[in-house]
Amino acid sequence: MRPATNGNESETRRQLRRIYTTLLAAFGPQGWWPARIRLEVILGAILTQNTAWKNAALAVRRLRQAGMLNHEKLSSASLSKLESLIRPAGFFRQKARTIRNFLRYLETSHGGSLRAMFSTPGEKVRRELLALKGLGPETADAILLYAGGKTFFVADAYSRRVLARHDLWKPTATYSEAQQVLHEHLPGSHALFNEFHALLVEAGKRYCKREVPRCEACPLEPFLNHRHVARPDHKGFAFAKPPAVSGVSGRVGPTLKRMELSHHLG
Ligand code: SF4
């Protein structure tokens, strides 16, 4: 499928670099994923589906306190015990079954070894994960990127919204269309994908709200091709007269020199 991008390759890459370096300067490294072991990342990725991270984190903490952050113990626990432990994450029955599905897959396809699973080519593992009930592309890619160090960008709703508003793709772009643009224009570095995704989520949470974005306070405001103006009915954007696109020097300055990952985007 052809990506829904609006610019040529070099301009797209430049735009991504500007956005990345500006967000990193503004917010600093995000330190994702907040987990101690890979199984914890995977459980967190499942538990955070359709809920705020704080709820998922509470469920993970309960699993840890119960000594369940272990493949064998999780697999042998009763479904009702698992449901009870992860209850704070919401949709706990469905999520308990998804965790079970994943553990069964890990056992049958990779002998219960995450090391074996992540030694398998990423595309193959992704296809296998997507075949499991309860795992969509966002969760599968979060597992692959954050637990496996595989280069799959998590093109979630935050990433798609922020970058669509900066004309990287159309607002109607699908998950796979957005991911394809990112994969084509970013260097294949899992560290970069990790940090960039986390920064886009932060921008989405702080400023790029779904209904009414707070562009006037957002560090990405200088890169808007059109000034976004929220309509009074809050149903979407209207576009006022396009302003000149300004540079980033006044906002980020020497901080850019300290950016750990900027060189990836050269
Ligand atoms: S809030 Fe405005 S400036 Fe910030 S990312 Fe969203 S559209 Fe861009």
Going by C-beta distance under 8 Å and a sequence separation of 6 or more, which residues neighbour residue 97? Answer: 79, 133, 134
pLDDT in tens, 93-146: 999 999 999 999 999 999 999 999 999 999 999 999 999 999 999 999 999 999
- Dump pLDDT digits (tens) for 200-214: 999 999 999 999 999
Across 188-244, the runs of DSSP E, i.e. the strands, are 228-230, 237-239
Residue 226: band (very low, low, confident or very high) from pLDDT cuts 50, 70, 90: low
Give pLDDT, residue 34.
78
Nearest CA to ligand 1 atom 6: 208
Complex prediction ipTM: 0.99
Q: Which residues line ligand 1 (CB under 6 A)?
A: 162, 165-166, 203, 207-208, 213-215, 218, 220-221, 224, 228
Q: Which one is predicted more confidently, 265 or 137?
A: 137
Closest CA to ligand 1's atom 2: 215
The domain defined by 1-266 folds into Endonuclease III; domain 1 (1.10.340)
Q: Chain-centre distance of CA 149, in angstroms?
A: 13
Pocket test for ligand 1, best of 220, 223, 237, 251 (most atoms within 8 A of CB): 220
What burial class does residue 152 get, using C-beta atoms within 10 Å of its C-beta: 0-12 exposed, 13-18 middle, 19+ buried? buried
Amino acid in position 164 = A
Closest-CA residue to 244 (of 213, 214, 218, 221):
221
pLDDT in tens, 77-91: 999 999 999 999 999
**pLDDT the model gives residue 234:** 37
| pLDDT over threshold 60, residue 167 | yes
pLDDT of residue 260: 36
Ligand 1 atom with the smallest distance to the CA of 220 is: 3
Mean residue pLDDT of the chain comes to 85
Of the residues 160, 162, 169, which should be mutated to test ligand 1's pocket, given the most ligand atoms within 8 Å of the CB? 162
Element (H, E) at 40: helix 38-47
| Higher pLDDT, residue 181 or 8 | 181
Residue 257 banded pLDDT, cuts 50, 70, 90: very low
* Residue 163 pLDDT > 60: yes
Give the pLDDT band of residue 9 (cuts 50, 70, 90). low
Q: Taking a C-beta distance cutoff of 8 angstroms, is the pair 34, 45 a contact?
A: no
CA 38 to chain centre: 16
